[in-house]
Amino acid sequence: MNKKILVAYFSASGVTKKAASLLAKAADADLFEIQPKTPYTSADLDWTNKKSRSSLEMNDPASRPEIKSYVENLSDYDTIFLGFPVWWYTAPTIIKTFLEAHDFSGKQIVLFATSGGSGLGKTESALKPCAPNAVWKGGKLINGASEGALKSWVESLKL
């Protein structure tokens, strides 16, 4: 049986979208974009403004921005690569919305992220409670990674 892989990602500016597209190609995976029901404006994403939407969401542990659509056939997939830009040293709260809206029981989740400067930090431990029955496989930053480098990473995971 061939294992099916899904690359699900949230991208605010297009950087993570580009990385996710390359990863999906490298992993021979399907692609799903996690989109907010209300799109983010550039003002919403202004992390220097403490009253911007992204700042308010990230400062509220209970924040769960609504998403536009869901993965209807998640049961078809064995492994989900879950990607996002790093915000405030962790995943944007919309990633928690996505995880809590689906059943990841027995599925492997591999995180990937893009970042202007920080790493994944404690992101996995922050997200695990949102999908406690998943098998978490760690993850990595894939800023500017080539398709070849991504293919090598996917193969090294032995999914």
Contact of 30 with 61, CB cutoff 8 Å: no
The pTM for the full model equals: 0.95
Q: How many domains are contained in the chain?
A: 1
Averaged pLDDT, 4-8: 97
Domain of residue 79: give its range. 5-156
Find the CATH number of the domain harbouring 27.
Answer: 3.40.50.360
Tens digit of pLDDT for each residue in 51-61?
A: 999 999 999 99
How far is it, in rounded angstroms, from Cα 59 to Cα 92? 11
Tens digit of pLDDT for each residue in 53-97?
A: 999 999 999 999 999 999 999 999 999 999 999 999 999 999 999
Contact of 68 with 98, CB cutoff 8 Å: no
pLDDT at 131: 97
